Structure 1
Amino acid sequence: MTLDYSTLGPTSGSRLVIAGGSGGIGRELVRACKALQHEVVVLDLEASIADNAREEGVEYIAFDGASSASITDATQQLTAGGKHLDGFVFLSGFPLMPRRPLSEVAVEQWDELMAVNLRSAYLLSAGLLPLLKRADAPAIVTVASSLGYQVMPGMGAYATSKGGLVSLTKALAMENAPKVRANVVAPGAVETNFLAGGTGRDASASDRSWFDQMSDKYVASIPLGRVAEPSDIVGPILFLLGPNSSYMTGQVLHLNGGRFTP
Structure 2
Amino acid sequence: MDEKLMDLRGKVCIVTGGASGIGLATSTLFAKNGAKVAIADVNLETANDAARQIGGDASAFACDVSLSGQVSAMVDGVVARWGRIDVLVNNAGFGFTGTVVSIAEEDWDRLMAVNLKGMFLCSKFVVPIMQRQGGGTIVNTTSYTAVSAIANRAAYVASKGGVSALTRAMALDHAKDNIRVNAVAPGTIDSPYFTKIFQQAADPEGLRKQYDARAAMQRMGQADEVAEAILFLASDRSRFATGSILTVDGGSSIGNHFVA
With the shorter chain as reference, the TM-score category is: 0.7 to 0.9
Query: Which among 224, 230, 235 is matched to residue 223 of structure 2?
Result: 230
**Superposition deviation, residue 147 in structure 1:** 1.6
Question: Which digits, 9 at most, give the CA deviation of each residue in 1:85-137, with x for residues without a partner?
Answer: 211101100112xx222211111111111001100100110100122234455
The letter for the 1-side match of 2:59 is E
**Superposition deviation, residue 223 in structure 1:** 2.8
2: distance between equivalents of 1:261 and 1:151?
12
Match of 1:18 in 2: 15
Match of 2:115 in 1: 117
Residues 207 and 68 (structure 1), Cα distance of their counterparts in 2 relative to 1, 3 Å cut: farther
Match of 1:87 in 2: 87
Unaligned runs of 5+ residues in structure 2 are 256-260
SS at match of 1:150: coil
Residues 195 and 121 (structure 1), Cα distance of their counterparts in 2 relative to 1, 3 Å cut: same
1: distance between equivalents of 2:145 and 2:34?
33
1: distance between equivalents of 2:86 and 2:126?
10
Identity of aligned residues (%): 27
Unaligned runs of 5+ residues in structure 1 are 198-204
The letter for the 1-side match of 2:235 is G
Between 211-220 and 105-114, report the one with greater CA deviation: 211-220
Question: Is 1:175 equivalent to 2:173 in the alignment?
Answer: yes
Question: Which digits, 9 at most, give the CA deviation of each residue in 1:60-99, with x for residues without a partner?
Answer: 1101123222222222323446822211101100112xx2
2: distance between equivalents of 1:19 and 1:196?
21
SS at match of 1:22: coil
- For the Cα contact (< 8 Å) 2:5–2:32, is it kept in 1? no
SS at match of 1:176: helix
Which is bigger in relative contact order (C-alpha 8 A, separation at least 6)?
1
The letter for the 1-side match of 2:70 is S
Q: Give TM-score scaled by structure 2 length.
A: 0.85
**Superposition deviation, residue 52 in structure 1:** 4.6
Residues 245 and 158 (structure 1), Cα distance of their counterparts in 2 relative to 1, 3 Å cut: same
Match of 1:241 in 2: 234
2: distance between equivalents of 1:60 and 1:50?
5
Tell me the matched-pair count.
Answer: 249
Q: Give TM-score scaled by structure 1 length.
A: 0.85
| Richer in helix (by share) | 2
- For the Cα contact (< 8 Å) 1:8–1:244, is it kept in 2? no
Match of 1:200 in 2: none
Question: Which digits, 9 at most, give the CA deviation of each residue in 1:20-64, with x for residues without a partner?
Answer: 101211111111111122111111112562685433231111011
SS at match of 1:147: helix
Question: Is 1:209 equivalent to 2:201 in the alignment?
Answer: yes
Match of 1:158 in 2: 156
Between 48-57 and 228-237, report the one with greater CA deviation: 48-57
| Two-structure CA RMSD over aligned residues (Å) | 2.6
